Structure 1
Amino acid sequence: MASATSPTLRQRRLGVELRKLRERAGLSTSAAASLLGVNQSRISNIEAGRYAVSADRVRAMTRMYSCSDERLIDALATMTGGRTRGWWDEYRDLLPTGLLDLAELEHHAVGLRAAAVIHIPGLLQTLDHARAVFQEGVPSLRPYEVEHRLSHRMKRQAILHRDDPAPYSATIHEAALRMQFGGAATARAQLRHLVEMSEQDNVTVRVIPFGVATFPGSGESADYVFGPVPQLDTVQLDTAHGCQFIEAEAKLANYRELMDRVEGSALKPAESRDFIHNIARTT
């Protein structure tokens, strides 16, 4: 079991949002501690995500911080308590922490958007395509490490098939559709799977063809994860060093605009489906 000093992304985010509210109220940690009747270290540990806090305590803190946004208060209250154990905890000693945080983030999301240039988004990859991608990683992964990542990725995809799934929208550049990870047969199967997924009511797939000269965010793949309120949204970027999470409000606003503009550069969903069909026929 992970120690109390190793909070999850969700626990850290709760602490960050409480710190923002405290600072906007013009209160120091010592002043907040005095008002709550606790020592200063308790406030610091709560804000660092190292200390479990109850929903009642969160509501008391938000009142003390003069927060009147009831939707935000309710959303923060749902993030309380100790570590929520999910299926991703099976991988806690097997995979980088960022991958576990991503799975937890997606599990609680009320909506997701993805923009991808070179790779098919992970939630839409087939097993064989994903295996080929992982096998090309640098530094090379050992066979058992590849299998751990594969099973983790396939389990993440369950959020698209559960009862009342969150809406998922992916904008994919033609370059990603033309890549042949695993060879032509694997690539064809991946494209057919992409078409099948795009026919689900909760999944929207858009394609940016090579004919679109430029589009915002060229070269960067990103996932935008919607929280219950905009303040709790998160952007996840894939980097050579693992997952990077962005939570600052100004940056979130920039990524919302970027996603809107990327989608505006793409073909409509029905045209995108036909486009993928055509590539699959010639692959």
Structure 2
Amino acid sequence: MRQRRLGIELRRLRERAGMSSTDAAAMIGIQQARMSMIEAGRHGVSADRVRAMTRGYSCGDDELVEALVSMTGRRERGWWDEYRELLPASVVEVAEFEHHASAIRVAVVASMPGLLQTPEHFRAVLRCRVPVLRPHEVEHRASFRMKRQAVLYSDPPTPYRAVIHEAALRLEYAGADTTRQQLFHLIEMSERPNVTVQVIPFGANDFPAVGQSITYGAGLLPHLSTVALDTDHGCEYLFAEAQLERYRVVLDRTESVALPPGKSRDFIRRIAKST
């Protein structure tokens, strides 16, 4: 996924320079077919080539060039690769997306944020899926979900901010005990220095309509960020600058109408005690 993101940016720079892929390939001494594969993220590219390409595209933004160079190099095998034959590619890519994000922002209305779910809650959610998952499929996804949460405990841990609507806090997927456990886990996680949790109560009517779960993975530069929208068929990834700006505004507005972190913890605690 990181390689694909780099290819998108290189293609964007080439198009802004008004250069064809054939001319760009000739400029750095490769075939046009290989240039197309680089821009599609199906072929790696070295740091030296990225520098040569950005010079040829007259890119004078040194900060951007260095950010792109940092995305090159030999692809390292991540822990998520062991799941590639067990889970759909769109599911596996979420872990790589989160791993490379410098910060993560999330907004959800009808579900708990994935990185803040307990195993029991997540298994209960999976058992409600259509089509029904077989027991071993549930366990594969549950173990994968729990391993994804490591980004919150890494050194240094990834900054994580989640806005959760009250509706998600009150949904009971596997009875009161599991729901209560999930809510107290949410409170515990919100006390970590890198995790911020805010709640939008039912009474807040002026927040942007968020039909899908939104995850914003910050890049080294704002326009190198990625937005992931949760859908029934997996995550849809957005990279266009206009899309990134739109979802930054949506998240800013959503956070502005949510309760502050301290009041959000108290709000969650009251729901947990009444469950």
Please classify the TM superposition score into its range, dividing by the shorter chain length.
Answer: over 0.9
Partner of 1:79: 71
Query: What 5-or-longer segments of structure 2 have no aligned partner?
Result: none
Does 2:49 match 1:57? yes
Partner of 2:80: 88
Partner of 2:161: 169
Alignment of 1:6-155 (within 5 A): 9-155=1-147
Quote how far apart the aligned CAs of 1:83 are.
Answer: 3.1
| Whole-angstrom CA distance in 1 between matches of 2:63 and 2:95 | 24
Query: What 5-or-longer segments of structure 1 have no aligned partner?
Result: 1-8
| Whole-angstrom CA distance in 2 between matches of 1:117 and 1:73 | 38
Please state whether the residue corresponding to 2:193 is helix, strand or coil.
coil
Stretch deviating more after TM superposition (63-72 or 113-122): 63-72
Please state whether the residue corresponding to 2:216 is helix, strand or coil.
strand
Q: Which amino acid aligns with 2:203?
A: G
Taking only aligned residues, the RMSD between alpha carbons, in angstroms, comes to 1.0
Quote how far apart the aligned CAs of 1:127 are.
Answer: 0.5
| Whole-angstrom CA distance in 1 between matches of 2:210 and 2:218 | 22
Q: Which amino acid aligns with 1:135?
A: R
Partner of 1:272: 264
Please state whether the residue corresponding to 1:138 is helix, strand or coil.
coil
Aligned partners of 2:108 and 2:210 also within 8 Å: no
Aligned partners of 2:212 and 2:231 also within 8 Å: no
**TM norm structure 1:** 0.95
**TM norm structure 2:** 0.98
| Whole-angstrom CA distance in 1 between matches of 2:67 and 2:144 | 27
Please state whether the residue corresponding to 2:143 is helix, strand or coil.
helix
Aligned partners of 1:10 and 1:101 also within 8 Å: no
Stretch deviating more after TM superposition (11-20 or 188-197): 11-20
| Whole-angstrom CA distance in 1 between matches of 2:236 and 2:95 | 13
Q: Which amino acid aligns with 1:161?
A: Y
1:158-201 Cα offsets, whole Å, 9 max, x none, are 00011111210000000000011111000000000000000000
Q: What's the % identity of the aligned pairs?
A: 60
Please state whether the residue corresponding to 1:184 is helix, strand or coil.
helix
Stretch deviating more after TM superposition (49-58 or 151-160): 49-58
Q: Which amino acid aligns with 2:25?
A: A
Partner of 1:6: none
Partner of 2:239: 247
Aligned partners of 1:112 and 1:168 also within 8 Å: yes
| Whole-angstrom CA distance in 2 between matches of 1:177 and 1:104 | 28
Quote how far apart the aligned CAs of 1:78 are.
Answer: 1.7
State the aligned residue count: 275
Please state whether the residue corresponding to 2:198 is helix, strand or coil.
strand
Please state whether the residue corresponding to 1:244 is helix, strand or coil.
strand
Does 2:216 match 1:228? no
Aligned partners of 1:131 and 1:150 also within 8 Å: yes
Q: Which amino acid aligns with 1:86?
A: G
1:218-238 Cα offsets, whole Å, 9 max, x none, are 333110110111121011111
Please state whether the residue corresponding to 2:49 is helix, strand or coil.
helix
| Whole-angstrom CA distance in 2 between matches of 1:71 and 1:217 | 35
Structure 1 residue ranges, 4+ long, deviating more than 4 angstroms after superposition: none
| Whole-angstrom CA distance in 2 between matches of 1:36 and 1:15 | 15
Quote how far apart the aligned CAs of 1:247 are.
Answer: 0.8
| Whole-angstrom CA distance in 2 between matches of 1:143 and 1:257 | 40
| Whole-angstrom CA distance in 1 between matches of 2:179 and 2:148 | 21
| Whole-angstrom CA distance in 2 between matches of 1:114 and 1:221 | 7
| Whole-angstrom CA distance in 1 between matches of 2:209 and 2:167 | 15
